[in-house]
Structure 1
Amino acid sequence: MTGFLILAFLILVAMVVSVPLATRFGLGSVLGYLLAGMAIAPLLAALTVDVVALQVFAEFGVVMMLFIIGLEMEPRRLWDMRGKLLGLGGGQVVLTTAVITGIALLDARPWQTAVAIGMILALSSTAIIVQSLTEKKLMRTEGGEASFSVLLVQDVAVIPILALLPLLAMPDLYASSGGPVGAGAHHGIDLTASMPMWLAAIARIGAVAAVVVIGIYAIRPLFRFIAAARLRELFTGAALLVVIGIALLMSLVGLSPALGAFVAGVVLATSEYRHELESDIDPIKGLLLGLFFITVGAGIDFDLAAQIWQEVVFWAAVVIAAKFIVLAAVGWFYGLRKQALWLFCLSLPQAGEFAFVLIAFALANFVIDSALADLMLLVVALTMLVTPLLFILYDKVIAHSYCKGMEREPDAIDEENEIIIAGRGRVGGIVDRMLQTAGYTATVVDYDSSHLEILQKFGVRTYYGDATRPDLLHAAGIARAKLLVVALDEREQIDKLVKYAVQTFPELHVIARAKDRNHVYELWAYGCRDVIRETYDASIRIGRSAYEALGVDRQNAIAMAGAFEEMDRSSMLEIAEVYDMDIPPMENEALVAKIRELRARWDPVLREQMDEIVKRGQ
C-alpha cells in the first residue's frame, strides 16, 4: 500500500507542477506530461516500477477519449466523412507503409523486417493528436477533421497488421531464439486467435453489430434505471461499465478497444444522456491520458539513447520527413490547401502508441531482433516527443502567417458622427440598433470581415478595421465625438482601447463592456467610469424570474431585483477604490477585508429591504 501511495503521489506531483508550467509557456499540456515523465523516470526506476504495465493501464484513457469523441459525432456526420476515411486514411496508411518499407530496404534490412517497420511506423498517435487538436480547438476545422479521419482508419488498420506480422517471421531469428513463434507475446485473451480467418471475420463483424444493437436498445434503459436512483456516483459507475464492457468485447475478438468505444459513442450521440456521460467520463479520461503521456516520457531508455543518439535522431527525422511528404501528397490530392494542409501534415508525422504494442508483438514473432526493437522504441518516443513542438510551430508560424496574409486594408471612413461603436457583435449590434431606432447615427467599426459581409447583405453599414488603432479612430472622428461604446470581445483589446481613449480624450464619454467583475475594477482603474458587465443584466433578470417562480408577484420581484442591483453597484464602487491590478485579488488583504466588511454591512440591510417588499405585497 505504501509503495502504491508513493507512486501515486509522485505522478500527481509531476502532473500538477509540469503541466501548468508548460501551458504557461505555450508548450501545451501534452509536452508538459511527457517532460514530467522524463523528469521522474530515475525515481520510477529506483522504485522498480513496471512502466510498461502502467502504460497498458493508462492506455484506457485513449479508449475513453475515443468514446467521448464518438458522443460528439452523429452518424450522419460520420457518413459525410466517408470520403476522407477511405481516401485520406487508406491512402496514408498504404503509401506511408510503402515509403518507409523502401527506406528500410535501402538500409539493407530483410524484406520481412522492412515491411514490419513500414506498417508499425505508418500509424500515428491518436492520444497526442486528438488531445492537442481538442485543446487548441482545431478538431472541427478542415485540417482537424482530415487528421481525425486518418486516425480512425489507422485504428482499424491495427487488426490486419496484427494478423500479418506472424506471417513475416524469419527462420534465422526463430532458430537463434530456440522458441516457438509467438512466445512471449502477451495480448490478452483473443477468442478468434484459433479460428479460421472467415470465422474470425464473422465474429468481429458480429461484435461491432452487437455494440450498435446494445447502444440503441440496451444502454438507454440501463441509464434510465440508474437515473431513478438519483445517485451521481452510480451514473458514473454505469458510464464506466459501458466503456469497459465494450472495450472488453472488442479485445475478446481481437479488435481495437478504442475503435469499439468510438462506435458506441457514435451510437449514443443522439441520446438524452450524452452530456451526462461526457461530463462523468471526461475527468477520468483526462487523468488516464496524462498518466499515459507520463509513462511514454518515463519509458525512454536514456542510457541506450545516449549511446546511439545519432542513429535515433537520424531515424526519427527520416520517419517524420517521410510521413510529412506522404501526408502532403495525399492531403493535396484530396483537396486540402493552405492552412488546413499544414495542420494535416504537422499533426500526423509521428509514430503512435500502438507502435509499442506492435514492436513487442513483432519481436515475439521473430520479425525483428531485440536491437532493432530497442532502436524503434526510442525512435517512436522521440517522434511523439517532437509532436507538441510541431503544433507550436503551426500555432506560432503557420497559422499566424496565414492570418496575417488574409488581413485586408481598413475601410476608408467617409462619415463623422458623434457616436463611435467599437465592435458590432452580440453586444455592439444591439446597442447600434437601439441608437438607430431613437434617431442617432453611429460610426461602427468591426474587425471580423466575414461577419461584416453578412451584415452588408442586410444593408447594415459597418466599417472594417482595428478599432484599437489610433489612426483609424482619428479617421472615425474620435477627436470630435461625444460617446465611444467599447463592445469588443477580447479583454486585451478592450483594455487597450479604453486606456487610449480615456488618457487621450478626457472629455470623451466612454462606455466599456467588461468580461467579469474583476475586469470592471481594472477598467475603473484605467479611468473609465461607465462600465457594464456583459452578463450582469441577464443575471439580474434571471434572479428576478427566480423570485417570480417562487411565488413573488411581478412588481415585488422587480423591486427586489432593483434593491439587490442598487446594493451591488454601491459596493462595487467601494471595492474599486481598494482594487490593485498588480496584486492578485486573493492576496490583496485590503480588498478581502473590504469585501468582508461590505457583506457584514449590506447583507442584513438587504434582507430587511427584501422582507419589507414582500410584506407590502401581501
Structure 2
Amino acid sequence: MIAQFDIEPYKAPLLFLGVAGVAVPLFRRLRVSPVLGFLIAGMVIGPHVMGRLDAQLPFNLPFLANSEGVAAVASFGVVFLMFNIGLELSLERLVLLRRFVFGLGALQVALCGGALYLVARAFGLPQSAAIVLGAALALSSTAIVVPVLAESRRLNTLSGRAIFSVLLFQDLLVAPLLFMVSMFSDTAEQAHPFLAFAPALIGVAAIVGVGRLVLRPMFQLVAAADSTELFMAACLLVVIATAVAAAYAGLSMALGAFIAGLLLAETEFRRAIELAIDPFKGLLLGLFFVSVGASLDPMEVVRHPGATIGVAVVLTLVKTPLLIGLARLFSLPWRKAREVGLLLGPGGEFAFVILSTAVAAHILPADLTSEILIGVTLSMTLIPLFATLAARSVPKKEAFLPGPQPSELAPVSRVIIVGYGRVGEIVGELMRVHKVDYLCVDGDPAIAAQARSRGEPVYWGDGTNKDFLNLCGLANARALVATMHAPSAVDAVVRQAREARGDLTIVARARDAAHARALYKLGATDAVPETMEASLQLSEAALVDIGVPMGLVIASIHEQRDIYRKALIADESQASPPRPFKARRQKRPGK
C-alpha cells in the first residue's frame, strides 16, 4: 500500500517560488515595484484571501499555505538585508554626503519621529509603544524610492542626492532602532536597567571581538581552497551564526548580522561576499515581504476604513510638510523641496521590520499593528504617483546638476587594476604617485591579504566575473588595467569590460604581439606586449649607458612604441614586424 503523500512541508516553498517566478515578473511588466508586488501577492495568497478556501473546500490546495509556514524562514530576509547594509556602509560615502546625511537626515528622523510620537500619544498609546511607532513610521522606502528615481533618471539631481542622503541615514538608524525595541521588551522593563542592558552589551562585545579574531582568517582559509561553493557556505555561516548569537544574547537577529557586515566591510573579501549573498538576500527579502503581505488582512480596509486609510493620510500629511520645510532650510529650491517631501513622506519597508519586532516583544498589540501596516502599505503604493507629479513640476533645464556628481549615485571615479602581482603593484604605485584614485582586484588571497596589511585598496575576487567587476565600480571607472599573467584571464577581463561599457579606457598586458592583436580585436584601448616593452627598456638602458643623451633616447623610444602600436592595430602579420625608425647615419671619425 502506497503511503499518502504529505504536502504540508512543501507548501511554503511552492508558494514562494510561485510568487517569485510568476507574480513578481507580472508586476514588473505592469511597472509596479517588486516590494509592492511581493506585498500584494502575499495578501492575495495568504490566509485572509485565497487561504480561506482551505476551510471551505473538501480537498487541500497545495499552494495556499498560511503565513506561519513562511514566517520563520522569511525572518532571514531581514537578516540578510541588514548584513548587506553593514557590508555596503562606506566612510567615503558618509564624508561625501555628510551635510545632507547627518544634517537633513538626522533632522528628518528627529522631527518626523517626534511629530508621529505626539500623534500616537494623542491616541492613547503608552510611551514606549508611541516611541517605537513614531520612529518606525518616520522611515521611508529605500526599496521603492531609489528604483523610481533611477528609472526617471533623477538620481543625480540635487533633490535626488538629498533624498538618497536621508535614506542612507535611515539605513544607519535601523540597527539602533532594533536595539531600542529589544530594550523596550517586557523582560527588559521588569529588570534593573543595568541588568537589562548588560546581556546586550556583552553580546555585542562578544560578536565584535570574536569577529575581529576569526572572520578574516576564516575567509582567507576558505578563499585559498578556490571553491565557489565553500565560499558561499562560509558567507551563509557567518550571516546566520552572528544572527543566532545576537538572538541568544537578547538582541534582534538583524542587529547581529549588521555588526558582522560592518566587520567584513573593511576586509579584502567585501566585494566577493556581496556577490555571494546577493541572490539569497533578494529571495529571502522577497519571502519576508510575502509573509508580511500574508499577515495583512485587506478586509480591514473595508471593516475599518477610517483607521487604515487614516494611517496612510496622517502619515503622509505629517511627514511631507516637515520634509519640505527641512529641504528649504538646506537651501533646496521650492520645487525640489516638494519632490523630497512627496517621495519621503510615505512609509517604508523598515516599518514592517521594526513593528513586527515590536509585536513579538509585546510592545504593540497585533491588531493595531496590522491596521497600521496596511496604512503604511497604502502610502507606499502612492510613491510612483508622487514621483511622477514631482518630476512634472520641475523644468527640464533644472533637472540635472552640471559637472561631476560626487555621490554614491555617481561614485568617485577610479582606475580598476585587475591583477596585483609584480606588474599590478607597480601600476598601483604610479597611480598613487600621480594621485589617481584606484582599486585593485586579485584572485590570490595571500596577495590580497598582504596588500591590505599595507593599506592598499585590494579586494579578493574573480576579476573575470562581470558581476564582480560591477560591484567594484566598473560602471563609473575612469579606466581598467588588466595585468594578469594568464592570457586567457586577460582576454576574459577585456571582453567583459568592453561588453559592459563601450566608452571605457582598457589597457591590457599582452604576452606577445599576436596576443596584443587579439586583445585589440576584443576591444582593448591599448595592449602592451611584454616582449616589446622588454626590448625597448633594454635598448633604453644600453643607449643611455653608452652616452647617448637621455632626451634623444626617450624620444626615440616613444616613437618606436607608437609605430609598433599602430602596426598592431592595423593587424599586420607577425612575419612582418614593424620597421624601426630610421636614424641618420653618422660618418665615422677620419672618413
2:237 equivalent in structure 1: 241
Structure 1 residue corresponding to 2:135, chosen from 114, 119, 122: 122
2:370 equivalent in structure 1: 377
Q: Give the drift of 1:244.
A: 1.4
Structure 1 residue corresponding to 2:90, chosen from 64, 68, 74: 74
- Structure 1 residues 213, 235: closer, same or farther in 2, change over 3 A? same
Deviations, residues 511-535 of structure 1 (Å, cap 9, x unaligned): xxxxxxxxxxxxxxxxxxxxxxx94
1:402 equivalent in structure 2: 394
Q: Which moved more, 1:333-342 or 1:93-102?
A: 333-342
1:554 equivalent in structure 2: 513
Q: Is the 8 A contact 2:301 2:309 kept in 1?
A: no
- Structure 1 residues 316, 393: closer, same or farther in 2, change over 3 A? closer
Aligned pairs for 1:239-388 (under 5 A) are: 239-333=235-329, 339=336, 342-343=339-340, 346-347=343-344, 349-350=346-347, 352-358=351-357, 360-361=359-360, 364=362, 373-388=366-381
Letter in 2 for 1:404: K
2:32 equivalent in structure 1: 27
Aligned pairs for 1:447-486 (under 5 A) are: none
Letter in 1 for 2:146: L
Q: Give the drift of 1:230.
A: 2.3
Letter in 1 for 2:34: S
- Structure 1 residues 536, 69: closer, same or farther in 2, change over 3 A? closer
Q: Give the drift of 1:149.
A: 0.6
Q: Give the drift of 1:285.
A: 0.5
- Structure 1 residues 538, 316: closer, same or farther in 2, change over 3 A? closer
Deviations, residues 138-188 of structure 1 (Å, cap 9, x unaligned): 59933112122124324413433443465xxxxxxxxxxxxxxx7xxxxxx
- Structure 1 residues 616, 204: closer, same or farther in 2, change over 3 A? same
Q: Is the 8 A contact 1:97 1:119 kept in 2?
A: no
Letter in 2 for 1:163: M
Deviations, residues 335-384 of structure 1 (Å, cap 9, x unaligned): 6665377346523531611354255357x46x75xxxx424412312312
- Structure 1 residues 195, 537: closer, same or farther in 2, change over 3 A? closer
Q: Is the 8 A contact 2:175 2:254 kept in 1?
A: yes
Q: Is the 8 A contact 2:315 2:345 kept in 1?
A: no
TM-score (norm 2): 0.57
Cα distance in 1 for residues equivalent to 2:190 and 2:273: 36
Q: Give the drift of 1:312.
A: 1.8
Q: Give the drift of 1:95.
A: 3.7
Letter in 2 for 1:353: F
Deviations, residues 534-556 of structure 1 (Å, cap 9, x unaligned): 948999x999979x64xxx5258
Structure 1 residue corresponding to 2:41, chosen from 30, 36, 42: 36
Residue 201 (structure 1) aligned with residue 197 (structure 2) = yes
- Structure 1 residues 147, 136: closer, same or farther in 2, change over 3 A? same
Letter in 2 for 1:382: G
2:8 equivalent in structure 1: 3
Q: Is the 8 A contact 2:132 2:358 kept in 1?
A: no
- Structure 1 residues 69, 159: closer, same or farther in 2, change over 3 A? closer
Q: Give the drift of 1:226.
A: 1.1
Q: Is the 8 A contact 1:328 1:341 kept in 2?
A: yes
Letter in 1 for 2:394: Y
Q: Give the drift of 1:407.
A: 6.3
Cα distance in 2 for residues equivalent to 1:134 and 1:145: 15
Structure 2 residue corresponding to 1:103, chosen from 119, 125, 141: 119
Q: Give the drift of 1:34.
A: 1.9
| 2:146 alignment partner, SS class | helix
Residue 64 (structure 1) aligned with residue 80 (structure 2) = yes
Cα distance in 2 for residues equivalent to 1:83 and 1:165: 35
Letter in 2 for 1:142: A
Letter in 2 for 1:342: E
Deviations, residues 386-407 of structure 1 (Å, cap 9, x unaligned): 314314522x232354362516
Structure 2 residue corresponding to 1:142, chosen from 147, 157, 162: 162
Q: Give the drift of 1:222.
A: 0.3
Identify unmatched segments of 5+ residues in structure 1: 167-181, 183-191, 409-425, 427-533, 565-612
Cα distance in 1 for residues equivalent to 2:507 and 2:358: 64
Cα distance in 2 for residues equivalent to 1:213 and 1:119: 30
Aligned pairs for 1:598-609 (under 5 A) are: none
Deviations, residues 47-71 of structure 1 (Å, cap 9, x unaligned): 6744146234313222212222322
Residue 51 (structure 1) aligned with residue 50 (structure 2) = no
> Percent identity of the aligned residues?
28
Q: Is the 8 A contact 1:104 1:117 kept in 2?
A: yes
Q: Give the drift of 1:28.
A: 2.0
Aligned pairs for 1:527-606 (under 5 A) are: 535=498, 549=511, 554-555=513-514, 558=517
Q: Is the 8 A contact 1:312 1:375 kept in 2?
A: no
| 2:382 alignment partner, SS class | helix
Count of matched residue pairs = 406
CA RMSD of aligned residues (A): 4.4
Letter in 2 for 1:32: G
Letter in 2 for 1:357: S
1:13 equivalent in structure 2: 18
Identify unmatched segments of 5+ residues in structure 2: 1-5, 55-60, 401-412, 414-496, 524-572, 578-591
- Structure 1 residues 353, 157: closer, same or farther in 2, change over 3 A? same
Q: Give the drift of 1:253.
A: 3.1
Letter in 2 for 1:289: L
Q: Give the drift of 1:4.
A: 3.1
Q: Give the drift of 1:234.
A: 1.4
Residue 389 (structure 1) aligned with residue 382 (structure 2) = yes
Q: Is the 8 A contact 1:130 1:148 kept in 2?
A: no
| 1:353 alignment partner, SS class | helix
Deviations, residues 89-124 of structure 1 (Å, cap 9, x unaligned): 654455445433443455xx43x5476245324314
Q: Is the 8 A contact 2:310 2:375 kept in 1?
A: no
Cα distance in 2 for residues equivalent to 1:89 and 1:202: 30
Cα distance in 1 for residues equivalent to 2:507 and 2:103: 56
Cα distance in 2 for residues equivalent to 1:78 and 1:205: 26
